[in-house]
Amino acid sequence: MKLSSVKMIQALMLCGFISTAAWSQEVKKETKVFETKMDKFSSKTGTISKFVDFRLPDLKTGYTNAETRIRKLMSGTESLYFYQIEKKGQYSNTTASIEYSDLLEVIKALKTLTQDVEKDIAGNPDYLENKFVTTDGFQLGYYVEKGRSTWYVKLEKYGTDNTLFIKDRTVIESAFGEARAKIEDLRK
């Protein structure tokens, strides 16, 4: 082989490599869409899903009232129960759907937060936040500022205008206790 033939073969191979690299595309990983327990349960394919709502008294907040209910979701032979809190907005509504087992955890967390709040106020911080977050993104907590605590619930993991401020912690305790009792009654 002559030197020019070798160079020509090398040039062709280089062109082939460059064109392959230029035309190849990076495979993008699919981003996972966040799915709540309610989303997963109600979107099962191949089964009939049904839900039934049972209204509860409104949750009294600092600025407005939020509607509450128990939603029984049935898919095939399975049933799940959710405590729902819905905040009406000007353009859309924000809803928390707290599955029964998560509700029990939220109630336990509320007891712990209640024990901590006075100590946190006494610490006189410039700002302090103490909260519990469920796997679905529902938050319950308080913040301390200027020697006072303010309780809140954040209904959804993402979005805006999804926080309810509650003046009296006992309002939350009462609402969650009532929701637990209603679900336990429905499960009988």
Q: Could you read off the pLDDT of 1-46 as tens digits, one per residue?
A: 555 666 666 666 665 566 555 555 555 555 556 577 766 666 666 7
* pTM (2 d.p.): 0.76
Instruction: Average the pLDDT over each of 39-53, 82-96, 123-137, 163-177 and give the range with the smallest value.
Output: 39-53
Q: What is the mean pLDDT of residues 135-148?
A: 94
State CA 73 to chain mean position distance.
18
Please report which confidence band the pLDDT of residue 75 belongs to, taking 50, 70 and 90 as the band edges: confident
Residues 58-72, mean pLDDT to the nearest whole number? 91
Mean pLDDT of 130-153: 95
Q: How confident is the model at residue 145 (pLDDT cuts 50, 70, 90)?
A: very high
Q: Distance between CA 87 and CA 64 in Å, rounded?
A: 9
Q: Using alpha carbons only, what angle is made at residue 145 by residues 119 and 95, rounded to the nearest 5 degrees? A: 95
Cα–Cα distance measured from residue 26 to residue 6, given in angstroms and rounded to the nearest whole number: 32
Strands (E) in the chain, as ranges, are 49-60, 65-75, 78-88, 93-99, 128-133, 139-145, 148-154, 163-166
